[in-house]
Every structure is written in C-alpha cells, then in structure tokens.
Amino acid sequence: MKKILIAAILLIIGFVIGLGMQMTLGGQNLVSLPNRVSQQTVVYENSVVTQVVKKSLPSVVTVSINTTVSQPSIQFDPFNPFSAPQLTPGQPEQIKENIGSGFIVSPDGLIVTNKHVVSDTTATYQVITNDGKKYDVTKIYRDPLNDLAILKINAAGLAQLPLGSSSNLQLGQMVIAIGTPLGQFPNTVTSGIISGLGRGISAGSPLGGSVEQLNNVIQTDAAISPGNSGGPLLDTEGQIIGINTAIAQGGQNIGFAIPVNVIKTLLQNFQANGDNFQQPFLGIHYTMVNQQEAVLNKIVQGAYIIDVVSGSPADQAGLHPGDVITAFAGQSLSGNDSQSLTRLIAQQKVGNTVTISIWRSGQTLNKQVTLVAAR
C-alpha cells in the first residue's frame, strides 16, 4: 500500500513539474517570437516614396511668368447697325501665370529649370517655393542647346537638392517626379520606372511656347504633364537623375527627362565664369550615329545634322541637314557617346572660331565656325 501511495505521489509530482516546464517553455516561445519579429526590417515602396518626397519638397519650386496684355473693347454705332465695329485699345493689364517647375541647387538662390519654360525674353518671372514664398527672378542664364536655364533669386539658406549621376541608370529603375502639372497643382508627386534610355525627342510645352530638339534623354512612365517641365526626376535615394522636360503627344505614361550629367556640366561652366557665364551656341539639331548605324546607312559615324537654325553660326558657315560632323575643334566625335559634341561645344568660349570637319555625300569638308552666345 505504501508503495502504491509513493508511486502516486511521484506521478503527481512529475505531472506538476512537467506542466510547469511546458508552461515555462511556452512562455519562452511567446516572449521570444515577438522579439525576433521586431528585429526584422521591412521596407515598402510607399515608404521609399514618402521619405524621398518629404526630403525633396522644400527644394522644388513653381515658376510663374508676368506678362502685360491689353484687351481691346469692341464698340458699335447704335444708330447705324450696318456700320463696322470700332476697336478701342484696352488698358494694359498684368497677368501672372504658373508655367513650369524648377529645383534649387544652391542655398544662395540658384534654380535649374528648362529653357523653354523661360523662353520669353521680354517677360519677367517669379519663383514660388514650397512654403508659399515668392521671389522675383533677377537673372536668367539660358542654354538652348540642352533646353536648360539657370535662374537667380535673392535668397539665402535655401534647401538644395543633391545631384546624382545619370551614368549608370538601369531600365526598370524606380523614379519619382515632382512638379506643378498644368500650372495648377503645385507639389504633385508621381512615381514610375525608367522605361527607356538614349531617346531623341522634340521637346516643348504649350505653356512655354517653344520646341527644342534633344538627344540622349531618359524615358519614364511616371506621369508628367505640361507644367512639370523643369521639375526634378529623383531616384530612391532622393538624388536628381534628370530634369522633367517633355511628354509624348498621343501616348500615355511616356515622359522624358534630360540626364543630370548635362545639368552638372552646365553648373560647372556657370561656377567657373559667374556673371560672365555665356553658353556658346552652334545652332544645329542632331543625332549621334555610331559605327553600326553608319554602315547600315552608308554614311560615317559622328553627329548627323537633322536641322540647322536659321541665322545661326552653323547656318552662316554653310552646314546643311544631312551633313555628318566627324570632328569639332580637332577632336573626333564618337558615335557611341551621345554627349560628345555637346561637351566639346561647352568647352569653347563665345567668340571662338573653330574648325568643324563634316562628311557630305562622300566628301570631307572643313568649315570655320564662330560661336555666339546662346539666347
């Protein structure tokens, strides 16, 4: 009997100990599982976008134009209903209109936008920052070759956007665009991917009123509308990789941006020359032809001239559409480098006379060209 009682007591003690161990182990599992989960970091696409936007918005601006218009009034002779109406000049009226976007690149008030946004040299312009402050544009430096412009406002301590690189962009890479579409919706954010690289386009805006021929631009499906011109195209680190410039008419989700490396070259030239900054201008629209394309089209590699601007240095020197520029100022052009001619022109100064070698109908000709200031 005693043996049975002892066995029963031992059984009960074992059961209790086992239950306690199970509860302890269970408790440990319940405590440790949340700890392990809390140490994991999950990054979602929307968190990337919101962080970039939060960091970038203070550096994105809206560009507005101030123009003076006079609306004539029409008067009729009430005693002669068959008489011709008389037009009376109206009073001049100042009109302000948001026409584009831009972004701050220096704390002391340098802003980059598209040249076609500020193409009217008779108008005055104003910049509106993210916090609603308005600044008059005191100076404009235009680069029509690359459809870029640098605006100067009197300000200090502004937040600037970092310039990234467009050398290693990848198809499918995520991008973010910020601007003022249609001139009505400031701080509009869209996102998408890089859809294409190395495109050649005709760029312009119905709000700006001019068209430029551009090469080697970035194609994106991030929604871009008129008024987005001049705004930044950003990567997921919040760095500028391009400047939003154009959309494809008749297409959806097809936008284009000028690579940031072109902007960096422009800013380097500006910083080297300050207020004496003048961008040399040749006056052609071109596309680069590499060796394979040259063989297929029975021409030579270089810069194939699509169009020549009337009255430009290229026009005065006798360059024609269909010519291929093979060398500029003694430097051969590489058809694989879409910016080679742009860089060579940028290295010159206004007033310099350079030799341009062209291929025309199987013959090589040398032309002397005197560069003028871009306007």
Distance, CA of 236 to CA of 228 (rounded, Å) = 19
Is residue 320 among the annotated active site residues?
A: no
Q: Which residues, 6+ apart, have CB-to-CB distance to 212 below 8 Å?
A: 115, 116, 144, 147, 202, 203, 204
Residue 141 identity (one-letter amino acid): Y
Is residue 285 among the annotated active site residues?
A: no
- Name the active-site residue from 116, 143, 323, 340: 116
Could you tell me if 286 and 338 are in contact, meaning their C-beta atoms sit under 8 angstroms apart?
no
Distance, CA of 106 to CA of 109 (rounded, Å) = 6
Distance, CA of 221 to CA of 238 (rounded, Å) = 18
- Name the active-site residue from 59, 119, 143, 147: 147
Is residue 64 among the annotated active site residues?
A: no
Could you tell me if residue 290 is left (phi over 0), alpha (psi between -120 and 50 degrees) or otherwise beta?
beta
Maximal C-alpha separation, the chain: 137
Distance, CA of 368 to CA of 316 (rounded, Å) = 10
DSSP-derived letter for residue 131 is T
Copy the structure tokens of residue 233. Answer: 């195209």
Could you tell me if 254 and 219 are in contact, meaning their C-beta atoms sit under 8 angstroms apart?
yes
DSSP-derived letter for residue 158 is -
CB atoms within 10 A of CB 155: 17
- Name the active-site residue from 64, 166, 225, 229: 229
Residue 218 identity (one-letter amino acid): I
Copy the structure tokens of residue 300. Answer: 């030579």
Active site residues: 116, 147, 229
